[in-house]
Chains A and B, each alone.
Chain A
Amino acid sequence: MSALLSVTDAHVAYGKVEAVRSVSLEVGTNEIVTIVGANGAGKTTLLSAIMGILPLKGRVAFAGQDLARLDIEDRVAMGLGLVPEHRELFVTMNVEDNLELGAFRIERSKAKASMERVYTLFPRLKERRKQFAGTLSGGEQQMLAMGRALMGEPKLLMLDEPSLGLAPIIVADIFRIVGQLRASGVSVLLVEQNAQAALKIADRAYVMELGEFVLSGKASDVAANEGVAASYLGFQHEGENVS
């Protein structure tokens, strides 16, 4: 399988402090790949660098093209989407406007169809379409952030901690939809502290510690690893199981 996203020997630093060291990863077409790790391991930094928000040393290629000289907007146009941890919504604009702007770069006729698809995935957003994004609940905001990213018709969607701070029932819903994305042809790179839920839906996984990948492989193998089970799966809170 040819890699849709390929990161080779990536280094990301905040000044002199290197937050990501010599990281390489691949995400294939129609694949869910997860990066699990503790808070501060460098997962969010890595996603931000892949998206072009932070400078990265190393090579990042998407659909065979080197991304080194491309802006965030160019990467979005190529089909790379990011739902950041803080969601970065347009809080004083309504749900419909947020979604419409997610399709800023695509044809208007396609945007309408995209919006219907997003409303099918997240019926709650349709009910709230005239409500300001800032007044939505945390779960609804997460749905809107994902919906906005999907409006741009990405080939690969990178999700940064989509379950953070959400009620278990909403988390289950979000992960169910992530699974549906793969079925609709969207690859997913999922960064998650909720390792149990992430490893359950992912095809492959990377474990990140202190800016480096310490383990990678099939998600089921990673989940079965004793070290991972002790470090990450053992600390899952009650009620965070994903159905």
Chain B
Amino acid sequence: MNTTIMLFLVQDGITNGAIYALLGLALVLVFAVTRVILIPQGEFVTYGALTYASLAAGQMPGTAKLALALGIGAFAFDLFVARKALHARLIVRSFVTNIVLPGIVLALTVYFASEKPPVAICIALSLVIVAMIGVYLYRIAFQPLAHTSVLVLLIASVGVHLALQGLGLLFFGAEGQRGPAVLSGAFTAGTLRFTGQSITVYAITIAFIVGLWLFFGLTLYGKALRATAVNRLGARLAGIRTTLSGQIAFLLASVIGALSGIMIVPITTLYYDSGFLIGLKGFVAAIIGGLVSYPLTAVAALVVGIVEAFSSFYASNYKEVIVFMLLIPVLLLRSLAAPAVEEEKD
């Protein structure tokens, strides 16, 4: 291997690692706040990517209809939970956020899908659709189980993943899709060539990480999310609704997932089930970060990306195996460092 190839591999690894970093951060966030191991994170990637690609190709994505269907489900849940003390304000608020909003987005999607809209509109619609799916899924599948064990939440998470993957096949078919580059053009620096898309990946990743840092450090809602992650009972005693924190966490995770998908789909062909493997690599990074440390997760994600790039070069058949094998020494070290497992306290 010469230096040029090595630099190419490192560059490729950093580009992939940046996306894994975002996904890993989302997984850590969701787990810390809700204790849900978010297996469907990969589906947010796929849905974001393929909704974007479908819109750009002038096709109507089924995800917009799914968002409305889930919104109706969320509305029904709200009504059922509040059935003994129904207030007009609560019904109206729930109706607007769960039915009117996805209804408007569906109408806009139908309108724009036939027009082959510009990239910016495709991105905006894809993000909003997946964000709504994420929030409604939390309401329907996870919020009612919020006080159960991590294992029950994990089972629900696997169920949601399987359902979304099946729906993905229904909406997008078995054929893969690619989307248009967010930013075209390229430039070279020495032997390295930087495409507009790879620059977009770096820029969005950095912007998102800085944005999250500011959100968590400076805003009341960001602090409330951190507080919920640190001490759920303490947060509730301070009047912070853990359901609100869960909704915000799922909103961020779904937006991050969709954004990652939109960044990947111009680089590589994505299928309805591709997101699972991509999400799992973010999961590897999150596990290395102990599902608690954001900086460690980000660094681990870059390592995962670089290891993946080098193993693609040296042993492409085994690249996934090599990447997932990173977990073994980490889990071994963590098991030695924490021999006792405490019972969950709710």
A interface residue numbers (CB < 8 A to B)? 51, 53, 69, 71-73, 76-77, 81-82, 84, 87-93, 97, 100-102, 104-105, 108, 148-149, 151-152
A84 proximity list for chain B (CB < 8 A): 233, 237
CA distance A95 to B85 in the complex (A): 37
- Contact between B227 and A90, CB atoms less than 8 A apart: yes
CA distance A148 to B84 in the complex (A): 32
Interface residue from A51, A97, A100, A108 paired with B237 (Cβ < 8 Å): A51
Q: Which residues of chain B come closer than 8 Å to A149, judged between CB atoms?
A: 237
- Stretch in B153-161, B187-195, B218-226, B327-335 with 4+ CB within 8 Å of A: B218-226
Extra 11 A-B pairs, beta carbons < 8 Å, given A51-B237, A104-B224 = A73-B236, A73-B240, A88-B234, A90-B230, A92-B226, A93-B223, A93-B227, A93-B230, A104-B239, A104-B240, A152-B238
Is there contact, CB below 8 Å, between A76 and B237? yes
Q: Which B residues lie within 8 Å of A90 (CB)?
A: 226-227, 230-231, 234-235
Q: Does B241 contact A (CB under 8 A)?
A: yes
Complex partner residue of A88 from B220, B223, B224, B233, CB under 8 angstroms: B233
Given the known interface contacts A69-B84, A69-B85, A89-B231, the answer about A97 and B238 at a Cβ–Cβ threshold of 8 Å is no
CB neighbours of A87 from chain B (8 A): 234
Name the one of B85, B233, B240, B241 contacting A101, with C-beta atoms under 8 angstroms.
B240
**A232 CA / B230 CA spacing, docked (Å):** 37
- CA distance in complex: A205, B63 (Å): 61
Chain B residue contacts of A73, Cβ below 8 A: 236, 239-241
- Docked complex Cα distance between A72 and B223 (Å): 19
Interface residue ranges, B against A (CB under 8 Å): 84-85, 220, 223-224, 226-227, 230-231, 233-241
Closest residue of chain B to A87, judged by CB?
A: B234
A88 touches B237 (CB 8 A): yes
Q: Which of B84, B85, B239 contacts A77 (CB 8 A)?
A: B239
- Given A69-B84, A69-B85, answer yes or no on A101-B227 (Cβ-Cβ < 8 Å): yes
Contacts of A102 in B (CB 8 A): 238
B223 with A100: CB separation less than 8 A = yes
Distance of A89 Cα from B239 Cα, bound (Å):
13
B236 with A72: CB separation less than 8 A: yes
Q: Give me 12 A-to-B residue pairs in the complex whose CB atoms sit less than 8 angstroms apart, sorted by A's number.
A: A71-B241, A77-B239, A81-B237, A82-B237, A84-B237, A92-B226, A93-B226, A100-B220, A101-B224, A102-B238, A104-B238, A152-B238
Residues of A within 8 A of B235 (CB): 90, 101
Contact partners of A148 in chain B: CB under 8 A: 238
Chain B min CB distance to A130 (Å) = 13
> Shortest beta-carbon distance, A45 to chain B, in Å?
15
Task: Pick the residue among A69, A91, A101, A108 that contacts B238 (CB under 8 A).
Answer: A101
Q: Which chain A residue has the least Cβ–Cβ distance from B292? A: A92
Contacts of B241 in A (CB 8 A): 71, 73
A152 to B236 CA separation, bound complex (whole angstroms): 12
Residues of A within 8 A of B231 (CB): 88-91
Chain B: minimal CB distance from A126 (Å): 19
Assess A76 versus B239: contact at CB under 8 Å? Given A88-B231, A90-B231, A90-B234.
Answer: yes
In the complex the two chains form, what is the Cα distance from A102 to B239 in whole Å? 7
Closest-by-CB residue of B relative to A99 is B238
Residue of A nearest to B346 (CB): A53
CB-defined contacts of A89 to chain B, threshold 8 Å: 231, 234
- The answer to whether B230 and A92 have CB atoms under 8 Å apart is yes
Contact of A53 among B226, B233, B238 (CB under 8 A): B233
- The residues of A that contact B223 with a CB separation of less than 8 Å are 93, 97, 100-101
Please measure, in the bound complex, the distance between the C-alpha atom of A217 and the C-alpha atom of B84, giving whole angstroms: 38
Q: Complex Cα distance A49/B239, Å?
A: 16
User: Which residues of the other chain, B, contact A71 by a CB distance below 8 angstroms?
Assistant: 236, 241
Nearest A residue to B82 via CB reads A69
Closest Cβ of chain A: how far from B163's Cβ, in Å? 29
In the complex, A149 Cα to B230 Cα: how many Å? 17
- Chain A residue contacts of B226, Cβ below 8 A: 90, 92-93
List of B residues within 8 angstroms of A100 by Cβ: 220, 223
A92 contact set on B, CB distance < 8 A: 226, 230
Which of B223, B224, B226, B234 has the most chain A CB atoms inside 10 A of its CB?
Answer: B234
